[in-house]
Amino acid sequence: MLGHRLRASRLYQIRNFSLSIPNFISEPPVIPNKFVDVRDVSQLRNKILPDYITSPNSKLANLVWRSPLQNILIVKKPWSKDVRNNMVKFISFLHDHYPELNVIVTKDVADEISPDFGGFPKQTSSSPHLIYTGESNDIVSKTDLLVTLGGDGTILRAVSLFSNVNVPPVLSFSLGTLGFLLPFDFNHHEHAFKDVYNSTAKVLHRTRLECHVIRNTGHGNKKINIDPKMIHAMNDIVLHRGDTPSLTTLDIYIDGEFLTRTTADGVCLSTPTGSTAYSLSSGGSIVHPLVPSILLTPICPRSLSFRPLVLPLTSHIKIKIASRQNSSENNVRLSIDGVPQEFLKVGDEIHIVNEVGTIYIGNNKIPNSTNKPKKLEDKDSGVYCVAKSENDWTRGINELLGFNYSFKNQSKPTTDKE
């Protein structure tokens, strides 16, 4: 009996000791990074927007800074070693050649890239690299210029940070898998940034769509707007059946007039920029970014007479979730620029207008959050992307889409000057 107690006592001591070991190693000491100094972005001055000067002889506008450019937000493709190395290289270039500029990154990126600055010490001084970070709202309020390193998805993710405010000009470098929005190779980053800094860069204007979700409360005609802040889309707004095998049933109205009830996998509402994305895969038209329009493209409709539509930019489109035949259920998924949103049920509505409003506000009972006086010619709306040349779009659909590509090798005509 005594031996039992001794063994139990020793076992208790061993167990007690083993359980106490992690207490000494769970909190490793924080070792400061001598190569990076991370500060709060709220210290910086508020953002400024450049002027965009148009010309009757060009599809592009001139980007002109009336006040000096200072705050640059850099967004990267997540967790890519190659992109991370190039981002550190780009930040080092800015610190060495433009020491007056402030580099801003999100918190997760600051943690990811900080250890890599050891291989890029500053050439102009022995001080550490200074980067700023903070909460998303603070970052948005401070950013003068948006630089992206990645693919088209990186641009959409970066622009989504500015969903309800004016978007700063966007300078994009191709380090991803798709590049409709990426005119610059990263190897040319020094020259491309110099043009932006010196107000000699050209920009292409791209429109955005504005989406409002209205929930059916189940009390007659009473409905509520679940997102009064509005959601903006640079590419597309998609209603689809999600992971359910059944087709959706949707009632579509244009400028207050009933258009059709469709039974389909869904409907895609896109900007001209998004015309080469999901809309194109669904049979929609390819539209130049400067054509003021909204594309309405059915996704695998049951009726073959439902063809894709190109509507005026001033249109107000309402889509109401209708009940399916012999069923009161019809759950539909909403996605904006590829990001899944909430499910919609029978009686719910989405209202889609262009970012600067619609001329039909008085007649169509658009949610209150859109009933604000706006100028359709608002020069600060949409997204201004730094362009390489006048013909980036034509080159893009040829090289990336293989436009009108035949099985035989085609050569460019040599009789006409390019």
| Rounded-to-integer distance, Cα 284 and Cα 266, Å | 13
What are φ and ψ of residue 18, in 5° steps?
-65, -35
Q: Is the separation of the CB atoms in 246 and 321 below 8 Å?
A: no
Kindly state the tokens that stand for 357. Answer: 């409003």
Distance of CA 340 to the CA centre of its chain: 13
Q: Is 152 assigned a catalytic role? A: yes
Q: Amino acid identity of 287?
A: V
- CA distances from residue 406 to 297, 392, 396 in whole angstroms, order as listed: 26, 22, 17
| Rounded-to-integer distance, Cα 61 and Cα 56, Å | 10
| Rounded-to-integer distance, Cα 335 and Cα 411, Å | 40
Q: Is 84 helix (H, G, I), strand (E, B) or coil?
A: helix
| Rounded-to-integer distance, Cα 286 and Cα 266, Å | 19
The catalytically annotated residue of 40, 116, 152, 255 is 152
Residues 6+ apart with CB under 8 A from 355: 207, 208, 209, 210, 232, 381, 382
| Rounded-to-integer distance, Cα 366 and Cα 372, Å | 11
Helix H or strand E encompassing 299 = strand 293-301
Q: Is the separation of the CB atoms in 261 and 319 below 8 Å?
A: no
- DSSP H helices, 152-268, are 152-160, 189-197
The residues annotated with a catalytic role in the active site are 152
